[in-house]
Amino acid sequence: MELSSEDTLRLNVLLANKPLAVRIDESRMIVYGLSEQGEAKIQLNPAGRPEQYVRKVRELLSGHILGSPGGYPVYLRRWTRMGQMRDESLEQLLMLGEPEAVVAAVCSPGLTAELARRAWWAMEDAENARRMLGHRAVVESPIGQELARYLVEYLPFETETEKMTESVRLVLQPGLLDQATRLELWKKSGRKQAYLVGFLAAVPDDLPQPVAARADAEACAARLEPLAAAANPYAQLLLRVLAPSGQTFLKTLEAVLKKPPTQEVVTAAFDVARAYFRALRPEGDPDQTLPQLLEDAERLGGEAGSEALHACLAVAPELRGDMQAMRICSGLGYGVLRPLIGGSSAMGSLLRRKLEPALGAVLEQIARLRGLRKSAQ
């Protein structure tokens, strides 16, 4: 099959005008070209099967743009999705009318705000929006706000909890949503734990509807502040936890872990908790089981404890239980879950029954940090 002479001529005219991006609507057999002046449209007139005709159109575009008449090279797809495309090739990718080429462009570390605008015109897709909002230059541009609005509107149609969490985390970056939209999203989070995890990951110290500081926050602050000023990680984290923002974080984390719908939500919540307390484990995820974490915490205050820990215990011995709880939370990860659900696809109430020993112990640590359980001395 060959392109009609009329379509060939019109496509060559489109390319001669150096479009910024090209998009093909296969269902309506229309080729669109984006320029500084606006949008051009070519209604195709296929003489045979539409899918074969579109393939010929893409071959013409590729031959003109890349010098490769065979179309966008299939063998490059995985490579370019990994962000390995050269930055100078990104503009060309957006002129091929090929969805995979657009994905390659948005995966590139060299993506700019202008290229993001063109890519979004070429292919509106939630996954593309998430990828592009991973670029600071895009977040700080007008297209960033457009992408964020799209993801918020698309959230009710997401079916995977990981994608829900990631969308919420990304749209909560500074400058993307107005306060009213942010609060509306928070209101919906009451029914969606995956949304709450996104809030915890994005704004752990600026969650909506803050609760009061812990009752002993003021009394403890006078003793801990000098140590915190000297970069003592235990003192800094204790002050953070005792403050209204810390108590709000813990209350929200508790809400997630009391009724998690999927394993992915639990894993993400543990990752968020570990990140919050990471100053106590600069080496990262210890990949330990719950008994190992509890045993490690129980040894706190012994001879093996750090100088920072002993300094805090010297001025606030009654907070030893809180320090143990923080140490446990700083080690949460899949290592805690593996013995209970390794290889299982359980969800909902079955998942919660399987995880009850671990979730119960973690919720106990959160209750201790919220002042709802007396700390050991």
> What is the per-residue pLDDT across 151-178, written as a single tens digit (0 to 9) for each?
999 999 999 999 999 999 999 999 999 9
Checking if the pLDDT of 85 tops 70, the result is: no
Checking if the pLDDT of 14 tops 70, the result is: yes
Q: Say if residues 165 and 194 touch (Cβ distance below 8 Å).
A: yes
CA distances from 94 to 13, 41, 78, 119 (A): 17, 16, 17, 6
Of 150, 168, 203, the residue that ends a domain is: 203
**CA 156 to the chain's CA centroid:** 17
Read off the pLDDT of each residue in 15-39 and give the average, rounded to a whole number: 95
Of 203, 235, 258, the residue that ends a domain is: 203
Residues 107 and 191 in one domain: no
Of 71, 36, 39, the residue nearest 52 (C-alpha): 71
Residue 156 has what pLDDT? Answer: 95
Q: Say if residues 146 and 116 touch (Cβ distance below 8 Å).
A: no
Where b means 16+ CB within 10 Å and e means fewer, 339-352 reads ebbeeeeeeeeebb
Of 186, 203, 220, the residue that ends a domain is: 203
Residues 132 and 241 in one domain: no
Residue corresponding to tokens 């003793």: 223
Residue 300 has what pLDDT? Answer: 81
Of 13, 37, 32, the residue nearest 22 (C-alpha): 32
Whole-prediction pTM: 0.89
Checking if the pLDDT of 199 tops 60, the result is: yes
Residue corresponding to tokens 């065979």: 70
Residue 1 has what pLDDT? Answer: 74
| 21-25: strand order across its sheet | 21-25, 30-35, 38-43
For the chain, the maximum distance between any two Cα atoms, rounded to a whole number of angstroms, is 87
Q: Say if residues 267 and 340 touch (Cβ distance below 8 Å).
A: no
* 270 part of a folded domain: yes
* 319 part of a folded domain: yes
Residues 106 and 157 in one domain: no
Interior CA angle at 109 toward 20 and 201, to 5°?
120
Q: Say if residues 364 and 324 touch (Cβ distance below 8 Å).
A: no
The rounded percent of the chain whose pLDDT value lies above 90 is 81
DSSP 376: P
What range does the domain containing 192 cover? Answer: 126-203
Rg of the chain, C-alpha, whole Å = 27
User: Can you read off the two tokens belonging to residue 103?
Assistant: 């994905």
* 376 part of a folded domain: no
Checking if the pLDDT of 80 tops 70, the result is: no
In a 3-state reduction of DSSP, which class is residue 273? helix
Residues 213 and 362 in one domain: yes
Q: Is 284 left (phi over 0), alpha (psi -120 to 50) or beta?
A: left
